[in-house]
C-alpha cells in the first residue's frame, strides 16, 4: 500500500481578476482599442508539492483564502494547473458543497437518480439504492415530493445520503460533516469513517483542528498559497497555531470564530 494516490509536483495556479469583467464579444472587440490595465493575476497556489499515499487520511488546514478549495478543485479536475503536475491514481469524488446538482422542479427520487448519475453511477445502480438513500436521509415519506418544497436541512440530508453511496478510490471532503441534527451527524460520521475502514484515500479540508488531530494520518498547512508545514497532524496544527499567533489579537479572535 505504498503507491501514491495523489501527487502534486510544483503546482502553480493563478486566476485572472478582471477589474471589469469582460464577457461579451462586443466588449472583447472594444477592448482591443482600449488596452488599459484590465486584469491582474492573483496567484492562489505557488509551487505546491506534496504526495498522499493510498489509504491515507490526509488533513488540509489553513486560513480562509489560503488556497484549500482551489487545491481540491485541481484534484477534482475542475481547474487545470498553470504550471506543474497534478496526478491522481484512481477515481476521485468530491463531497464539496453538497446538493449543487439538485433540480428544484424534480421529485426527490428523480433528484437522487440525477445526483447519483452525476457522481458516476449508472441509472440502474442508483435506482437500486434509492430506497436505502431515502431511509438514510429519513425522507421515505417524501419520495415523490418536488425538492423545491424542502427545508434546507432536508436538502442537505438528501445530498449527503446520496453522496456517501459512492465508492471512489479518493474522496475529497470539504467541511461537510456538520449536516443535520445530532443523531444524523453521528450517522454521517459513521458512514464517513467506513470509507476509512475500507482503505479509501481521504482528503479532509476543515477548520476543526481537533478532528484533524484525532482522525488524520498526516496533515498539511497551506499558508498564502504555499506549503507551510507537512507531517504529523499534531505538528501541523501547532504550526497553524503559530501562524495565527503572528496576527494581531483582534484578527485572531475573528479567525477562530470563523
Partner 1 sequence: MTVSTLRNHVNSIWSRRSLIRTFAINDLKIRYRNSVLGFFWSVLEPLLMLSVLYIIFTNVVKSDIPYYPLYLLLGLIMWNMLTRATSMSLHCVTGRAGIITKIYFPREIPAISTCVTASIMMLLELMVFSIFIVVFQFVPPSTMALLPIILIIQFILVLGLSLPLSVLNVYFRDVQYIWALITHAGFFLMPIIYRAEIFPEKLQTLLSLIPMTRILDMAHDVALYNIIPSATDWAYIIVSSLTILCVGYLIFKRFEAGVGEEL
The beta strands (E) that lie in 54-179 are given as: 57-61, 83-88, 92-96, 170-174
The Cα–Cα gap between 101 and 35 comes to 39
> Cα separations (Å) of 56 from 59, 90, 212, 229?
10, 14, 13, 17
The residue (of 74 and 220) whose beta carbon lies closer to partner 1 is 74
What beta strand segments (E) does 74-200 contain? 83-88, 92-96, 170-174
* Minimal distance, residue 72 CB to partner 1, in Å: 10
In the bound state with partner 1, the residue whose beta carbon lies nearer, of 53 and 73, is 73
Residue 85: phi and psi, rounded to 5, are: -125, 140
Residue count of the chain, please give it.
258
- Residue selected from 7, 15, 167, 169 as contacting partner 1 according to rule CB under 8 A: 15
Q: Is 97 an interacting residue with respect to partner 1 (CB under 8 A)?
A: yes
Shortest distance, position 151 Cβ to partner 1, whole Å: 19
Cβ proximity of 50 and 230 under 8 Å: yes
Q: From the CB of 169, what's the least distance to partner 1, in Å?
A: 14
Give yes or no for residue 123 binding partner 1 (CB under 8 A): yes
Shortest Cβ 224–partner 1 spacing (Å) = 20
Q: Which of 1, 3, 20, 25 binds partner 1 (CB under 8 A)?
A: 25
Q: Check residue 150 for interaction with partner 1 (CB under 8 A).
A: no
> Of 61-90, which residues contact partner 1 (CB under 8 A)?
73, 76-80
- CA distances for 25 relative to 22, 29, 30, 39, 78, angstroms: 9, 6, 9, 17, 25
Calculate the CA dihedral of residues 82, 87, 93, 96 and round it to 10 degrees.
Answer: -40
Distance separating alpha carbons of residues 98 and 163, to the nearest angstrom: 8
Q: Which is nearer to partner 1, 92 or 222 (CB)?
A: 92
**Contact region for partner 1 (CB under 8 A) — 22-30, 51-59, 218-226, 229-237?**
22-30
Residue 199 beta carbon to partner 1: minimum distance, rounded to whole angstroms: 23
Residues that bind partner 1 (CB under 8 A): 15, 23-26, 28, 73, 76-80, 92-94, 96-97, 100-101, 103, 105-107, 110, 113-114, 117-123
Amino acid at each position: 500500500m505504498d503507491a501514491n494516490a495523489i501527487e502534486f509536483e510544483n503546482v502553480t495556479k493563478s486566476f485572472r481578476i478582471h477589474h471589469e469583467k469582460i464577457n461579451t464579444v462586443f466588449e472583447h472587440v472594444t477592448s482591443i482599442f482600449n488596452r488599459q490595465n484590465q486584469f491582474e493575476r492573483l496567484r492562489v497556489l505557488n509551487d505546491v508539492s506534496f504526495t498522499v499515499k493510498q489509504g491515507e487520511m490526509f488533513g488540509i488546514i489553513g486560513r480562509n483564502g489560503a488556497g484549500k478549495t482551489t487545491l481540491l478543485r485541481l484534484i477534482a479536475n475542475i481547474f487545470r494547473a498553470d504550471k506543474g503536475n497534478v496526478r491522481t491514481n484512481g477515481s476521485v469524488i468530491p463531497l464539496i458543497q453538497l446538493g449543487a446538482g439538485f433540480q428544484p422542479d424534480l421529485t426527490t427520487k428523480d433528484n437522487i437518480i440525477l445526483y447519483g448519475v452525476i457522481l458516476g453511477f449508472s441509472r440502474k445502480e442508483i435506482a437500486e439504492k434509492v430506497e436505502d438513500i431515502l431511509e438514510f436521509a429519513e425522507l421515505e415519506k417524501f419520495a415523490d415530493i418536488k425538492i423545491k418544497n424542502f427545508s434546507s436541512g432536508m436538502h442537505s440530508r438528501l445530498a449527503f445520503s446520496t453522496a456517501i453511496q459512492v465508492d471512489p478510490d479518493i474522496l475529497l471532503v470539504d467541511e461537510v460533516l456538520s449536516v443535520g441534527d445530532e443523531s444524523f451527524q453521528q450517522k454521517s460520521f459513521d458512514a464517513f469513517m467506513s470509507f476509512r475502514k475500507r482503505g479509501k484515500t481521504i482528503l479532509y479540508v476543515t477548520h476543526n483542528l481537533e478532528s484533524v488531530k484525532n482522525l488524520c494520518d498526516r496533515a498539511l498547512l497551506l499558508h498564502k498559497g504555499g506549503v507551510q508545514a507537512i507531517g504529523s497532524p499534531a505538528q501541523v496544527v501547532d504550526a497553524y497555531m503559530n501562524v495565527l499567533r503572528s496576527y494581531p489579537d483582534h484578527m485572531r479572535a475573528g479567525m477562530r470564530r470563523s
